[in-house]
Amino acid sequence: MCGIVAAVAQRNVQEILLEGLKRLEYRGYDSAGMTVQDGSVLSRHRAVGKVGALAAKLAAAPLPGTTGIAHTRWATHGKPTEANAHPHHGAERVAVVHNGIIENYEPIKQRLESDGVTFNSQTDTEVIAHLLDERLSKGEDLFEATRTIVTQLGGAYALGVMSASEPGVVVGARQGSPLVVGVGIDEAFLASDPMALLPVTDRFIYLEEGDLVVLREKGAISVVDRAGQPVERTVHTFEHGDGAASKGEYRHYMLKEIFEQPEVIEAVLEGRLSAGSVLVESFGPDAQALFQRARQIHVIACGTSFHAGLVARYWLERYAGVPVQVEVASEYRYRHPVVPEGTLFVALSQSGETADTLAALRFAKTLGYIGSLAICNVPGSSLVRESDVALMTRAGPEIGVASTKAFTTQLVALMLLTLAVAKVQRGDDHRDIVEVLGTLPGLCRQVLALNGQIEALSQAFAEKQHALFLGRGAHYPVALEGALKLKEISYIHAEAYPAGELKHGPLALVDSEMPVISVAPNDDLLEKLKSNLQEVRARGGQLFVFADENVDITGQEGIQVLTLPYVHEALAPLLYTLPLQLLSYHVAVLKGTDVDQPRNLAKSVTVE
């Protein structure tokens, strides 16, 4: 994780870098730092805590200069202390910001120490500063030095480096961690994510793996590839717009993003349906042939995206008749998976930069899949560029670390995939589902209107230590996602179970202190779910049920029921996710946690 930003500009860069860091804070927020070049002096401030702590230091003692690098950290090697915060300096001659992990830093460190180098931090990154310093003292320029030392680095890195003896120069390198070049007007920038640079440019070069880039004054940008050859990389115009930069009327980004769901669900559907049928071409020109050949599908993802994959398994098997396996990327990449002939690989990721998911995709390419499909929210991300076919989820930037609109738009995209596979392989349009898809935004609005009631419900959770979420069928993953949301932002221990499994263990946990949350749509598992809820009630558990308006589950002593509008059962997992998001949000607000940036987490995990 971690976020880096760098600038070679025509003006003082402090504010540009600071704004960039604020926008990258979702990537890590335990400490931050900035080095600015003033003539041949590198001046640095670092602070423990969020970017605000660094901003306070900069306000008290500004760092003037037109070239600089900055970093917001999510600790991997070494605690979040000021000494471990980036930029790291080597002999005051060179400054480095790094996102990633240098896996072989220990032998490098030992070698440098035996040569008399003193280390000032416990980080893996500091070796880069000293390796560069070593080369610079041999007379190499910053670019040459960087090119030499990256060959010694194992693991993953996105780097921004500068040297006291080369004013107006920043060198960047990318291997395994994201890095984009911002193309300004007579100015040039680097960042982990285009979002960081939207106040200064909307034109970006997405560096390829192994690329090195040199930014010089007057906006000069030169890229060389892994082989050291100068290359021209395409300049892309950023399409998302900058609407996510503010919370608007909302208290938190998470709440804003929950309420954006009706619009983004409309966006993900736009232009992808026609006359009661999905447009298979919306997956790209190669999709038809790929889907035709898909005898099985393997879905790989992490975190919330994994839960979307679990819902899709129910859909793809039921509506398209294709066997599906779903697995978390960090497990998949270290197994020895057997890939039956005719298997399609599907990677799900909001960011398209999650290290484990990317590694899984790269591994999958060696295993004989018929092709790879990325379902992703970030155009130009590594996952999208490296997959054969991509479908964008168009959720717009998601800032809250706990994923909300990215999840529901992934579900819509996965339903489109289900419909596309069913159409290509079986000639089945599933017209009923297609028709209801168009009504989803309106149904979501109706559910969001329950916000006040859900807020009132949340009071019952503020003092709880544990919670249990139950669902059946495609709503088991919905329960998993509900439990994850509660854990992530309210720090309440929550578990999710398929309701039928309750009697095989978790029932032992149920007593009058245990809140049990269940989703009860009007589907063919309803009667079975009701029996499971009776099992909870009989043990004194406090039930909170989100139920279809037509089902006869009534509120009574120990059972609180909130009714949702009727929805076609195929789309119920989408709708029933919303109240669980709102519930977690309100519980977290009551508990006073940092809703948008919960402790120990990061939005985009670009390290293993």
Q: What are the catalytic residues?
A: 2, 603
Q: Which is nearer to ligand G6P, 136 or 376 (CB)?
A: 376
Main-chain phi, psi angles of 130, to 5 degrees: -75, -35
- The residue range among 216-224, 350-358, 527-535, 569-577 that interacts with ligand G6P, by the rule CB under 6 A, is 350-358
CA–CA separation, 317 and 324 (whole Å): 7
CB nearest ligand G6P: which residue?
Answer: 303
Q: Which of 84, 99, 349, 490 binds ligand G6P (CB under 6 A)?
A: 349
Selection from 66, 74, 295, 238 nearest residue 167 by Cα: 66
CA–CA separation, 205 and 76 (whole Å): 28
Binding mask 206-225 for ligand G6P (x = CB under 6 A): --------------------
Q: Which is nearer to ligand G6P, 477 or 541 (CB)?
A: 477
Q: Is 357 among the residues that bind ligand G6P (CB under 6 A)?
A: yes
Q: Are 549 and 565 in contact (CB under 8 A)?
A: yes
Residue showing tokens 């005051």: 92
Smallest distance from the beta carbon of 3 to ligand G6P, in angstroms?
Answer: 14
Q: What Cα–Cα distance (Å) separates residue 387 from each residue in 196, 301, 366?
A: 25, 14, 13
CA–CA separation, 110 and 433 (whole Å): 62
Binding mask 383-402 for ligand G6P (x = CB under 6 A): ------------------x-
Selection from 359, 360, 485, 481 nearest residue 411 by Cα: 481
CA–CA separation, 329 and 266 (whole Å): 29
Smallest distance from the beta carbon of 377 to ligand G6P, in angstroms?
Answer: 8
Q: Which is nearer to ligand G6P, 121 or 597 (CB)?
A: 597
Smallest distance from the beta carbon of 351 to ligand G6P, in angstroms?
Answer: 3
Q: Which of 350, 382, 404, 577 binds ligand G6P (CB under 6 A)?
A: 350
- The residue range among 102-110, 140-148, 297-305, 360-368 that interacts with ligand G6P, by the rule CB under 6 A, is 297-305
- The residue range among 300-308, 337-345, 554-562, 586-594 that interacts with ligand G6P, by the rule CB under 6 A, is 300-308
Q: Cα torsion for 525, 529, 530, 531, to the nearest 10°? A: 110
Q: Which is nearer to ligand G6P, 162 or 595 (CB)?
A: 595
* Sheet arrangement for strand 493-498: 493-498, 466-471, 515-520, 542-548, 559-564
Neighbour-count burial for 500-515, b at 16+ CB within 10 Å, e otherwise: bebeeebbeebeeebb
Asked whether the CA dihedral 257, 258, 259, 261 is positive or negative, the reply is positive
Smallest distance from the beta carbon of 605 to ligand G6P, in angstroms?
Answer: 5
Q: Is 403 among the residues that bind ligand G6P (CB under 6 A)?
A: yes
Q: Is 261 among the residues that bind ligand G6P (CB under 6 A)?
A: no
- Rule CB under 6 A: which of 567-606 touch ligand G6P? 601, 603-605
Q: Are 290 and 420 in contact (CB under 8 A)?
A: no
Q: Is 351 among the residues that bind ligand G6P (CB under 6 A)?
A: yes
Smallest distance from the beta carbon of 15 to ligand G6P, in angstroms?
Answer: 28
Smallest distance from the beta carbon of 354 to ligand G6P, in angstroms?
Answer: 3
Smallest distance from the beta carbon of 475 to ligand G6P, in angstroms?
Answer: 19
Q: Which is nearer to ligand G6P, 258 or 601 (CB)?
A: 601
Residues in contact with ligand G6P, counted by CB under 6 A, come to a total of 15
Q: Which is nearer to ligand G6P, 169 or 605 (CB)?
A: 605
The torsion region of residue 394 among left (phi > 0), alpha (psi -120 to 50) and beta comes to left
Binding mask 301-340 for ligand G6P (x = CB under 6 A): -xxxx-----------------------------------
Q: Cα torsion for 254, 259, 260, 266, to the nearest 10°? A: 140
Smallest distance from the beta carbon of 410 to ligand G6P, in angstroms?
Answer: 8
Peptide bond into 87 cis (omega under 30): yes
Strand, helix or coil for residue 234: coil
Neighbour-count burial for 264-301, b at 16+ CB within 10 Å, e otherwise: bbbbbbeebbeeeebbbebbeeebeebbeebebbbbbb
Interface residues with ligand G6P (CB under 6 A)? 302-305, 349-351, 354, 357, 401, 403, 601, 603-605
